[in-house]
Amino acid sequence: MNDLRRRKANALRMLTVDAVEQAKSGHPGAPMGMADIAEVLWSTWLKHDPADPQWPDRDRFVLSNGHASMLLYALLHLTGYDLPLAQLQRFRRLHSRTPGHPETGLTPGVETTTGPLGQGLANAVGMALAEKLLAQHFNRADCNLVDHRTYVFLGDGCLMEGISHEACSLAGTLRLSKLIVFYDDNGISIDGHVSEWFRDDTPARFRAYGWQVLQVDGHDADAVNAAIGAAIDQSSHTDGKPTLICCKTVIGHGSPGKSGSHEAHGAPLGAEEVSATRAALQWDYPPFAIPDEVRDAWDGRVRGSRLHDEWRKTVERYRDRYPDLAAEFERRMRGDLPASYAQALMSAAEELALQTGSIATRKASQMVLDRLAPGLPEMFGGSADLTASNLTNFKGCVTAGRDRAGNHLSYGVREFGMAAVMNGMSLHGGFIAYGGTFLTFSDYSRNAVRMAALMKQRVIHVFTHDSIGLGEDGPTHQAIEHAPSLRLIPNLDVWRPADLLETLAAWDAAVTRTEGPTALLLSRQNLPIRARRPDDLEQIRRGGYVVYESEDACATLLATGSELHLALEARQLLAVQNVDVRVVSMPCTSRFDGQDDLYRESVLPRDLPIIAIEASQPDLWRKYVGREGHVIGVNTFGESAPGPVLYEHFGFTPQQIARCVLKFIGAEQRTHEPVAYA
């Protein structure tokens, strides 16, 4: 390694050491061990422009081992991003742009929020998939509009997480050859030497996935450089493979007393060891100081501007030859919907409002997709091996595959991986990703759902079989606590529609929402289709609205999804007993909570008791019904039996609900005859 290259890597090490030491918190070991790899990649190969972190054709860099965040912050600062030294000096401080783990949208140049190990890797698979699909759609023989790579840094922890298997197996199957992953093979995690609990033959594992695997000394810059060149060469082949570069490194490299030890992993080195490290690295500068020749050598702005200008010329040629495709690409990368969307939505509303009979909301969802998705080329759907059950496919959709472009993917039984891959596709840009599984299996994907909410990504989760109503599959598959649990995630809109038009409104809300993800909770069983008008969409969009009003009401019945029609039928039974109640549908609690006080009071007047009805764990509804109200819910796991039998068993028939209402309001004592229902 030449002297300047060594000093550039040491600048990364010492910025990390100084920032962690000043914060009295952080992880210096991995940045010190991966500094040589980072120097080669960022100085020689990475296509990026510090002046424009959102350049569509930039390479994506993902730090999956997010605890090594200071490595990324040092790289961004030194190459010229808008991340001044003062921000590095405020590492892990309130409202700084250098949080403990990288956060997209906060720090320029950070592609995804990482920290939960393995998810950054899965996000990168989504980014590489997005690049491949966009290239297949937009590139022409005479003009490559989309041509970039996705690079990932990760460590032992990412590979121990099960999501790494889900995502990397899929990446190999799909031949995502522009995905290049660097494995920081330092043999250390928080508890010590990983050989006591992680003895996988990682190269063999990835070869079995269909990856190219290269093994190098991670401190040999020439070897790392050659490996990257081989990986890029592989990506140019029609049958190319993703590449894993296994880099043997020493954690805390440069620290005389703590390198190679778990003591360097997750704590400051300490003042004495920092001094010793400075001496060992021959870094004779005060904290946070970078000599001019090293800073100048790191500056990536001139190179980035040149690369970006070359792409701009490509765009101009492309726009001249393919103006319609160019306009579509630019629209999709901005995240705008087509101008035709509004009309398609109203046409769908007019058509669906005329439907009669009964239908499962999972089927209603597919009917909505049939009408909206063909006009949204950015929609990319899929299912975790449940397409025929989730009904995420639609008329005219094309199944994507290993070397086949399409807009619907069978992810296999990989719920967590699917959710994190969708996050990556959204982060990349150009797609609205949606994927389906059973609601009870949202437990598998929950952390990726949470990350989408944290990152404010437009991702859509289609969760079908949403209650005991699914029937014979029993309590393992029957969602009880899942709806309220998902509603607890900040910035996640959870919709549980009751009929066709509510399902259309839910999809519209999900597609048009740009600041966060949406979960659609859909029934397996058929539900009555209510008479509707297309303009009902407006009130449905507010999340909660009055379905039946009565000036003489003595209570409000509040229901969602498959329980709304039960509430309406119970209202009719109560009317026979001269008991009037209002009925409110609340398909989306977060949307309703966002309405103004006057509207919320008009829907749920405080002077009327409220009885909430949902076949789920009841506690969340107590914030609406208060201490004076009542919740008809399910406090236990389900049972294996046909859906109608279970609804009766758990007290969800119109007759049972009516009795419960009468008992709650004391009407049974006021009637002359016993209340009996057939």
* Catalytically annotated residues: 415
In 3D space, the residue among 229, 308, 379 whose CA is nearest the CA of residue 59 turns out to be 308
**C-alpha to C-alpha distance for 559 and 544, rounded to whole angstroms:** 10
3 state SS for 452-519:
HHHHCCCEEEEEECCCHHHCCCCCCCCCCCHHHHHHCCCCCEEECCCCHHHHHHHHHHHHHCCCCCEE
Strand pairing report for 179-185 and 150-155: parallel
Nearest to 185 by CA among 213, 212, 165: 213
Count other C-beta atoms under 10 Å from residue 610's C-beta.
Answer: 21
Residue 145, token pair as written in the block: 């509009």
Could you tell me if 255 and 32 are in contact, meaning their C-beta atoms sit under 8 angstroms apart?
Answer: yes
- State how far the alpha carbon of 558 is from the alpha carbons of 467, 542, 604, in Å: 17, 15, 9
For residue 16, give Cα distances in angstroms to 77, 91, 256: 12, 10, 16
SS (H, E, C) 79-141: HCCCCCHHHHCCCCCCCCCCCCCCCCCCCCCCCCCCCCCCHHHHHHHHHHHHHHHHHHHHCEC
Q: Is residue 448 a contact partner of residue 119, using CB atoms and an 8 Å limit?
A: yes
Determine phi and psi for 50, rounding to 5 degrees: -55, -25
**CA 119, 125, 131, 137 torsion: positive or negative?**
negative
CA gap 45, 509 in Å, rounded: 41
Instruction: Tell me how far apart the alpha carbons of residues 486 and 583 are, in angstroms, rounded to a whole number.
Output: 24
- In the block, residue with structure tokens 């992993």: 265
Residue 46 has phi, psi (to 5 degrees) of: -65, 125
Residues 6+ apart with CB under 8 A from 489: 449, 450, 453
Amino acid at position 414, single letter? R
Amino acid at 166: E
Helix 202-209 and helix 162-173, axial crossing angle in degrees, nearest 10: 40
Distances (CA, A) of 197 to 154, 200, 204, 234, 424: 18, 9, 18, 33, 30
Contact of 230 with 216, CB cutoff 8 Å: no
Which element (helix H / strand E) includes 274?
helix 271-280
Which residue stretches of 322-394 are H helix? Answer: 323-334, 341-352, 361-372, 387-390
Are 454 and 491 in contact by the 8 Å Cβ rule? The answer is: yes
Backbone φ, ψ for residue 216 (5° rounding): -140, 165
Tokens representing 545 are: 């609205």
Phi, psi of 533 (to 5 degrees): -115, 145
Report the half-sphere exposure of 33 (CA within 13 A, side-chain side): 31
